[in-house]
């Protein structure tokens, strides 16, 4: 992208990513997220020399441990989870910044002790009273942690430093619980200091959606209902309920677990108008407008436009797998969906009449997330005598794996006869840039340390997304005549009802 040197956009782009030295405190220090994502992300940033010098990490949890024993446990899990491998020397340098603070989340005194611990770090190092609190606990502890941080004065900036909080999903389980959580948050931290993490926004390819759209002349003129027939957002996972996840998942389901947050965010990036600049609020203002333009569904519309399903037994790569209802920690006769497909409309000037199809499912044949824009066909006057083939141009953004972008188009087959075949122009991150993408958490942690909230969800984004999702949940749960629960064998691409949903308008799910 070429941007003139006196353009404020340029300054904005260049001034991003200056992460400041700080103390990062992880609540839920012994949990899965800390081991699988947070520490490996920090380690990889350290390995790439991207961490602000002087960063200190403090783990806060109830279990009895000391600095050394916690570091050893983290080293073990970093070996397994770090994307760039594990270098003992790099680890040793990084681990020197890690300490453990034992405390009960409910005990206010423990937070006063934490404040003293952080003060002593500030006295002895360069953290400059900057504090980043990461709430990686079970969601029922969010309010008590926030209140206790306030009671210990840790929510306030002091001595020229800043105090920020990062909070993980689930941000509520419906609109009213999300509002309640937001109320507690706004009582303790300023909105500007609140970072609601949605790790999909940290994925390299999700960030590239704005560049693809707004830094290239070729796509944007077509990016509207006049030229786009339909849009598909697919998030497929081969995983089921491994690692004891069934207990949580059964209370959430595919729609709350992934559509309300990750897929709604992708939808916003695809559908939003160009922001006036790249500031966090300008970008988030545009995303909120998309959410507010989503056509709300009543119970009848939910029946017509949403398919929910559970997997039955099946197999993936020859391995036999149980059905959803037979998985561990799933309640008997559960009515929780492991798959959801929906047709949604965005009632605004740009997208009037274009269906957006969204699907998410567990135990599909493979892990893949992608977005495809299917263009309308050109007038069929010149080649109508040729055998008919599906002629629509498709622009596909592969969010993961094999990150990239491709365009499907028709081409003449070489030879003396007039034969037409679909071909693909393909861009792969790996071959074009010679390296894979960093983990989403790496970028997001750096942004929070830099005070850049662009890739974090704002309060009104979360609440508007819930408003849309609640209508669907209500139709499923508070209804004398709820829509049916469809079924699909584990390892298949979902229930036939989801194919029929697209078939009604002559569309088909893209083969992945
Ligand atoms: C989480 C969901 O937010 O995202 C999980 O709770 C899901 O159910 C995960 O598996 C997917 O993330 P990713 O980055 O592996 O696509």
What CA–CA distance (Å, rounded) separates 66 from 86? 22
CA distances from 478 to 103, 298, 438 (A): 41, 12, 43
The 10s digit of each residue's pLDDT in 101-141 is: 999 999 999 999 999 999 999 998 888 999 999 999 999 99
- The predicted pLDDT at position 417 comes to 87
Residue 321: which residues within 8 A CB-CB, separation 6 or more?
240, 311, 313, 314, 315, 363, 490, 491
Question: Ligand 1 center to residue 293 CA distance, Å?
Answer: 26
What CA–CA distance (Å, rounded) separates 42 from 508? 42
Question: Ligand 1 center to residue 262 CA distance, Å?
Answer: 9
Q: Mapped to the 3 state alphabet, what secondary structure does 102-150 carry?
A: ECCCCCHHHHHHHHHHHHHHHHHCCCCCCEEEEECCCHHHHHHHHHHHH
Domain residue ranges of the chain, discontinuous segments joined by +? 18-168, 201-433+461-503
Q: Which atom of ligand 1 is nearest to the CA of 239?
A: 10
What CA–CA distance (Å, rounded) separates 176 from 362? 27
Question: Ligand 1 center to residue 258 CA distance, Å?
Answer: 7
Ligand 1 in reach of 254 Cβ (< 6 A): no
Cis status of the peptide bond prior to 170, with omega within 30 of 0: yes
Nearest to 388 by CA among 241, 506, 259, 247: 506
Residue 450 tokens read as 């830099």
Ligand 1 in reach of 257 Cβ (< 6 A): yes
What burial class does residue 40 get, using C-beta atoms within 10 Å of its C-beta: 0-12 exposed, 13-18 middle, 19+ buried?
buried
Residue 181 burial (CB count, 10 A): 22
What CA–CA distance (Å, rounded) separates 110 from 465? 36
* Whether domain 18-168 has CATH 3.30.465.10: no
Query: Could you tell me the end-to-end alpha-carbon distance of the chain, in angstroms, rounded to an integer?
Result: 30
Bridge-partner residues for 309, per DSSP?
339, 486
Q: Which atom of ligand 1 is nearest to the CA of 248?
A: 6
The 10s digit of each residue's pLDDT in 306-343 is: 999 999 999 999 999 999 999 999 999 999 999 999 99
Residues annotated catalytic, as ranges: 262
Question: Ligand 1 center to residue 370 CA distance, Å?
Answer: 14
- The predicted pLDDT at position 91 comes to 97
Ligand 1 in reach of 258 Cβ (< 6 A): yes
Ligand 1 in reach of 237 Cβ (< 6 A): yes
> In the CATH hierarchy, which fold is given to the domain comprising 201-433+461-503?
Dihydrodipicolinate Reductase; domain 2 (3.30.360)
- Confidence at 429, pLDDT banded by 50, 70, 90: confident
- The predicted pLDDT at position 4 comes to 44
Q: Which atom of ligand 1 is nearest to the CA of 440?
A: 14
Question: Ligand 1 center to residue 289 CA distance, Å?
Answer: 25
Q: Kindly tell me if the per-residue pLDDT of 147 is higher than 60.
A: yes
Q: Which atom of ligand 1 is nearest to the CA of 252?
A: 6
CA distances from 79 to 36, 53, 84, 366 (A): 10, 23, 10, 25
């Amino acid at each position: 992208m070429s941007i003139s040197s006196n353009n404020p956009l340029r300054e904005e782009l260049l001034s991003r990513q200056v992460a400041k030295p700080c103390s990062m405190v992880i609540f839920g220090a012994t949990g899965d997220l800390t081991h699988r994502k947070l520490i490996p992300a920090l380690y990889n940033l350290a390995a790439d020399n991207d961490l602000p010098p002087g960063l200190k990490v403090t783990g806060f949890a109830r279990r009895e441990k000391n600095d050394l024993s916690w570091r050893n446990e983290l080293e073990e899990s970093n070996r397994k989870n770090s994307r760039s491998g594990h270098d003992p020397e790099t680890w040793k340098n990084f681990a020197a910044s890690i300490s453990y603070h034992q405390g009960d989340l409910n005990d206010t005194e423990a937070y006063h002790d934490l404040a003293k611990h952080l003060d002593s770090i500030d006295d002895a190092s360069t953290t400059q009273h900057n504090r980043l609190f990461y709430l990686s606990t079970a969601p029922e502890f969010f309010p008590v942690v926030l209140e206790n941080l306030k009671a210990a004065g840790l929510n306030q900036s002091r001595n020229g430093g800043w105090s920020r909080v990062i909070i993980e999903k689930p941000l509520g389980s419906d609109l009213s619980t999300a509002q309640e959580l937001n109320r507690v948050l706004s009582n303790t931290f300023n909105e500007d200091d609140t970072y609601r993490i949605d790790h999909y926004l940290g994925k390299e390819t999700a960030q590239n959606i704005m560049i693809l759209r707004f830094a290239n002349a070729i796509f944007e003129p077509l990016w509207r209902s006049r030229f786009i027939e339909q849009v598909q957002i697919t998030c497929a996972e081969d995983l089921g309920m491994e690692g004891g996840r069934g207990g949580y998942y059964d209370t959430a389901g595919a729609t709350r677990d992934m559509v309300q947050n990750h897929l709604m965010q992708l939808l916003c990036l695809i559908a939003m108008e160009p922001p006036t600049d790249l500031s966090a609020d300008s970008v988030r203002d545009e995303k909120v407008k998309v959410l507010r333009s989503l056509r709300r569904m009543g119970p009848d519309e939910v029946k017509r436009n949403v398919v929910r399903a559970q997997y039955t037994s099946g197999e993936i790569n020859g391995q036999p797998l149980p059905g959803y209802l037979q998985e561990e920690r799933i309640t008997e006769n559960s009515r929780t969906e492991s798959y959801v497909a929906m047709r949604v409309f965005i009632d605004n000037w740009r997208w009037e009449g274009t269906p957006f199809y969204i699907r998410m499912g567990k135990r599909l044949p493979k892990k893949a997330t992608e977005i495809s824009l299917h263009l309308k066909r050109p007038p069929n006057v010149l080649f109508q005598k040729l055998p008919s083939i599906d002629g629509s141009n498709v622009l596909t953004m592969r969010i993961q794996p094999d990150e990239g972008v491709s365009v499907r188009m028709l081409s003449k087959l070489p030879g003396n006869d007039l034969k037409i075949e679909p071909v693909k122009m393909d861009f792969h991150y790996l071959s074009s840039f010679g390296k894979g993408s960093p983990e989403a958490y790496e970028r997001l942690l750096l942004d929070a340390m830099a005070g850049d909230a662009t890739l974090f969800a704002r309060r009104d984004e979360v609440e508007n997304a819930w408003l849309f999702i609640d209508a669907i949940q209500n139709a499923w749960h508070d209804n004398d005549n709820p829509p049916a629960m469809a079924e699909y064998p584990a390892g298949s691409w979902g229930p036939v009802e989801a194919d029929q949903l697209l078939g009604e308008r002559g569309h088909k799910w893209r083969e992945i």
